[in-house]
Amino acid sequence: MDSALIPRGVKRCPFPQFILFVAIVGAVLLWGVYAMLLCWFKGLNQTNMNDAYGFALWIWADLAVIAVGGGAFFTGLLRYIFGKDDLKNIINYAVLIGFICYSSALLILAIDIGQPLRGWFIFWHANVHSMLTEVAFCLSCYFGVLTIEYIPLILENRQIDRVPFFHHLGHNMHETMAVFAATGAFLSFFHQGSLGGVAGVLFGRPFAFREGILIWPWTFFLFTWSAAACGPCFTILITKITETVTRKKLVKDSAIELLAKISGWMLLTYSIAKTADTWYWATVTAPSMGQTLMDFYSNNPLYGIWILILEIAICGFVPAFILITKKGRKNSLALWIAITLATIGVCINRWVMVLQVMAVPVLTFESWFMYFPSWQEIATTILPVAYGVILIAISYRYLPVFPNEPELNPMETLPAQETEKEEAVEPSVDLEQELKPAEA
Amino acid sequence: MFPFSFEWIWDMGHVVFMGGLWYALTILGIGMTYCIIKSAIDASRGNDEHHH
Amino acid sequence: MKHKKAKKYGMVIDLDKCTGCGSCMVACMAENNVPFRKDESNKLLSITWMRVYKLTNGKPFPNTDICYLPRPCMHCEGQHEGHSPCVTVCPAIATDYNIETGIVSQIYTRCFGCRYCMASCPYHARYFNWWDPVWPDGMEKYLSPNVSPRMRGVVEKCSFCFHKYQLAKEKAFMKGRRELKEDEYQTACTQACPADAITFGDLNNPNHAVYRMAKPDPKHHGRPTNPHAFRLLERLGTNPKVYYLSSREWVRRAGDNYLENESIAKKPAHHE
């Protein structure tokens, strides 16, 4: 039915199956959209946030998707600036995942603010001293970069590519990509960092506050570092999930292993830096404000010292050691464990730097503030996941996201060179071969 | 955001921050303009020697 | 010096006098058109620019002691003028530090409700309008015409009754004066306190009562030199303009965090 749109030389599931899948995920998406509309029309009273918990699930989701979306800028940096050519096999997918993450972040921000129609004030009346201003500017600009990086992929769709202008545009954008990627890396460095700065500058909150260099608290650098370390792990994770779901090998091992290796070293150095930061904060910064480490990890139902150990040791050092060893990278199970742990680790870090900051009491006569999100908050947080799954499904079906796919999965009945005949591309119905696209 | 917004001050913060922003936006703008114009010219010339 | 004459309005609250009656809270809500809902049982959703906390020394009878602590916005000055925790973080300059008065303002029509300022404030002095204000029938006639009501989705907080400052300035100007007398500008909570526990005035003016009571040390960011005076969370370096007085040591100690064996002796802020 839609065979004319499917890239040459690859096999896709039957159209009704694809539509069914999109419809199921679409139902989840609609649930999220409903919750989003409730928040917009009725206000943030639809959430379980309160005056002690002004930052909650959404801000965490925002920080988390941007952290894991960091794979796009870091892979782009390695591919276009440092010339790691092997990564060309995974860069498209890294860009797509980044695009989903950043558009989700912008959407969540648009739901999160109390007066969405005034959202443009952050640009127009910018306070250049606020970390959040820096976040807004760099995030929006970088989303522009990701769009620019995603467009050539869209233009490679078989039908679009037939239009001469689009064909040339895709080619020319590819040629100029290094410039865009460099700009993207510049913007990413600052917005990943300023997201860390958002918590680090809160000198009224000893749990979050960090010293630093000039205007930048240590969290500024730690956030950029962890995004560069864990973002590629998330890219690999989603690639692996896509491969599992489609039951195909989509990216060459060499690309995965190279990215995993670089990621591993980034993660190891990050974990060491994070440990040093935590040590200094626990022994110098917090005591200077009259608080000890255990003040932040006791007398409450959730936040025990386990969360610190889980974040730094189990989700930091463990995956780092797996990824820096050749054996670890080559072992499929070990690789799965490492990339999953790294992704969880960076999400825990963002959780702690948002949710726990709000929970810890500062005034001596107050106690811990605990919070559980309302269904509207949960639905609007799942919304971007559903949107991501659908966008991946559509992109995977109609765009040559994985340049290695035809080579890694030769089609027995239809050799790639014969596909000049459009009608011949109707894929054979093979449920075993191609079930559904991946989850984000 | 712009020097004509009433809260704009010509200080270090604004020059560095907005300078960085406009620098990035200019590069993106020029890059995209170049791509679009070059593609229009290429397409009108029927120039199709490259394959990627 | 340009700022030599600038005012630094602040408050001294004598906790030995405070009975916890809540008049300050009521006066504040009436004066500033603070919205409320039918059900105010969840205090984390209530807007209380002035909030009275109940503190206890945690000791069993007969040594139990309690203290009521009214908490307005601290109008923090920070480690250099205007470096309040909230002002620096607001992305849209919707909250501002007035260098003429030292008052931290909130511009409701500028605020877009990101709540970063609430996250930055360790005193929980900032409140979000989770709902649009709904006044009981006829009550809108009793609203103060000098204070704009706030809409849903923006943050609000104590303004030290800034509109009363503006009115007092206008009155004085009509009388041919530029300077205000001490009693011409007083906040609603100060005037309402039946125990006379709240004193308001210019902390830069040695003739004002607040100055004599707190004895701020300008060399140490206004740290009180009166041994009975303290500020909330002094050690964070927020440099608040609200001082508390108490003759009881446990109350003064409750004003800040201390390590287990640390004495309450004046500790420098971490930024110094």
What is the rounded CA–CA span in Å between residue C266 and residue C84?
21
Q: Find the DSSP H helices in A156-217.
A: 164-200
Whether the CB-CB separation of A77 and A395 falls below 8 Å is answered with no
In A, which residues are within 8 Å of B14 by CB distance?
128
Please give the pLDDT value at position A357: 96
Please, are residues A57 and A378 in contact by the beta-carbon 8 Å criterion?
yes
- The three-point CA angle C66-C67-C73 to 5° equals 150
DSSP lists the bridge partners of residue C55 as C67
pLDDT tens string A416-430:
444 444 443 444 434
Residue A261: pLDDT above 90? yes
Q: Which amino acid is at A394?
A: I
3-state DSSP call for residue A386?
A: helix
Percent of chain A surpassing pLDDT 70:
94
- Which residue from C160, C105, C103, C108 is spatially nearest to C129, judged by alpha carbons? C108
pLDDT category of residue C266 using cuts at 50, 70 and 90: low
Cα separation, A256 vs A263, whole angstroms: 10
Q: Give the alpha-carbon dihedral of C93, C99, C105, C108, to 10 degrees.
A: -40
Cα gap A140→A142, rounded to integer Å: 5
Summarised one tens digit per residue, pLDDT across range C176-219 is: 999 999 999 999 999 999 999 999 999 999 999 999 999 999 89
Q: Is the pLDDT of residue A363 over 60?
A: yes
Three-state DSSP state, A172: helix
If you average pLDDT over residues B24-46, what whole number do you get? 92
DSSP string, B24-48: HHHHHHHHHHHHHHHHHHHHHHT--
Residue contacts between A and C (CB atoms, under 8 Å): 171
Given pLDDT bands bounded at 50, 70 and 90, which one contains residue C1?
very low
- Residue A413: the pLDDT is 59
On chain C, the residues whose CB falls within 8 A of the CB of A287 are 259
Domain layout of chain C by residue ranges: 2-77+159-254
The whole-angstrom separation of Cα C266 and Cα C263 is 8
Instruction: Quickly state the pLDDT bin for C271 (edges 50, 70, 90).
Output: very low
Is A249 in CB contact (< 8 Å) with chain B? no
Selected residue of C128, C270, C271, C272 to mutate for chain A interface (largest A Cβ count, 10 A): C270
Domain coordinates in residue numbering, chain A = 3-250+270-305+353-410
pLDDT digits (tens, 9 = 90+) for C73-105: 999 999 988 899 999 999 999 999 999 999 999
Q: Is A172 within 8 Å of B39 when comparing Cβ atoms?
A: yes
**Mean per-residue pLDDT for C124-137?**
95
The minimal CB distance from A171 to the residues B13, B46, B52 is found for B52
Q: Residue C264 has what pLDDT?
A: 78
- Name the helix (H) or strand (E) containing C243: strand C242-245
Please tell me the predicted confidence (pLDDT) of residue A417. Answer: 47
- Quick: pLDDT tens for B7-20: 788 888 888 888 88
- The predicted-structure confidence for A391-415, as pLDDT tens digits, reads as follows 999 999 999 999 989 999 887 755 4
Rounded CA separation C77/B29 (Å):
42
Please tell me the distance in Å from C176's CA to the nearest CA on chain A: 37
Task: Give tens-digit pLDDT for A278-287.
Answer: 999 999 999 9
d(CA A195, CA A142): 14
Q: Name the CATH code of domain C2-77+159-254 (choices 3.30.70.20, 3.40.630.30, 3.40.50.10490, 1.10.3720.10).
A: 3.30.70.20
Tokens of A379: 């639905």
User: What pLDDT, on a 0 to 100 scale, did the predictor assign at position B48?
Assistant: 58
Mutate to test the interface with A, among B21, B34, B37 (most CBs of A within 10 A): B21
ipTM: 0.92
Shortest CA distance from A134: residue in chain C? C91
Most B CBs within 10 Å, among A80, A142, A163, A168, to test the B interface: A168
CB contacts of A132 in chain C (<8 Å) are 89, 91, 114, 116
Chains that touch A (3 or more CB pairs under 8 A): B, C
Distance from CA of C128 to the nearest CA of A (A): 6
Q: Across the interface, do A164 and B32 touch by the CB < 8 Å criterion? A: no
If one counts every other C-beta atom within 10 angstroms of the C-beta of residue A1, the result is: 10
* Inter-chain CB proximity A205 and C119 less than 8 Å: yes
Looking at residue A430, its pLDDT comes to 40
Residue B52 confidence (pLDDT) above 60: no
For residue C11, pLDDT over 70 is answered with: yes
| pLDDT of A436 higher than 80 | no
Write the CA distances from A430 to A14, A17, A23, A246, A427, integer angstroms. Answer: 8, 11, 20, 12, 8
Cα A344 from Cα A349, distance rounded (Å) = 9
Of A114, A130, A366, Cβ closest to residue C89: A130
The backbone region for A51, taken as left when phi is positive above 0, alpha when psi lies in -120 to 50, beta otherwise, is alpha
Chain B nearest-CA distance from A179, in A, is 8
Is the C-alpha dihedral spanning A398, A403, A407, A408 positive or negative? negative
Window 136-165 of A: residues touching B by CB (8 A cutoff) are 137, 141, 144-145, 148, 164-165
pLDDT at A1 over 80: no
A253 near A240, Cβ under 8 Å? Answer: no
- Strand ranges across the sheet with C229-230: C198-202, C9-14, C242-245, C229-230
Q: Which of A126-130, A429-433, C124-128, C230-234 has the lowest mean pLDDT?
A: A429-433
Instruction: Give the confidence band of A23 by pLDDT, cuts at 50, 70, 90.
Output: very high
Non-local (6+) Cβ contacts of C260 within 8 A are: A292
Which of A55, A127, A363 lies closest to C122 in CB terms?
Answer: A363
Give the pLDDT of residue A294.
Answer: 95
Which among A124, A137, A183 has CB closest to B27? A183
CA–CA gap between residue A337 and residue A319 (Å, rounded)? 7
Of B18, B28, B52, the CB nearest to A145: B28
Confidence of residue C260 (pLDDT cuts 50, 70, 90): confident
**Measured between beta carbons, which residues in chain B are less than 8 angstroms from residue A171?**
39, 42, 50, 52
Determine the pLDDT at residue C265: 64
Q: Please, is A164 exposed, middle or buried when counting C-beta atoms within 10 Å of its C-beta (0-12, 13-18, 19+)?
A: middle
Contacts with A, C 18-47, CB within 8 Å: 42, 44-47
Distance CA C131, CA A392 (A): 38
Classify each residue of A86-119 as buried b or exposed e, where b means 16 or more C-beta atoms within 10 Å of its C-beta. ebebbbbbbbbbbbbbbbbbbbbbebbbbbbebb
Q: What pLDDT sits at residue B47?
A: 64
C266 or A67: whose pLDDT is higher?
A: A67
**A396 closest CA partner among A7, A2, A4:** A7
Please give, rounded to a whole number of angstroms, the shortest distance from the CA of A357 to a CA of chain C.
8
Q: Which residues of A touch B25 (CB under 8 A)?
A: 141
Q: Do B17 and A134 touch (CB under 8 A)?
A: yes
Structure token pair of residue A57: 């699930």
Instruction: Show residues of chain C in contact with A118, CB under 8 Å.
Output: 111-113
CA-based nearest residue to C49, from C171, C143, C174, C187: C187
Contacting residues for A7 by C-beta, under 8 A, at least 6 apart: A156, A157, A158, A398, A399, A400
pLDDT in tens, C42-62: 999 999 999 999 999 999 999
Q: Which residue among C91, C119, C232 sits closest to A202, beta carbon to beta carbon?
A: C119
Mean pLDDT across A55-70: 95
A139-159: string of b/e by CB count within 10 Å (b at 16+)?
bbbbbbbbebbbbbbebbbbe
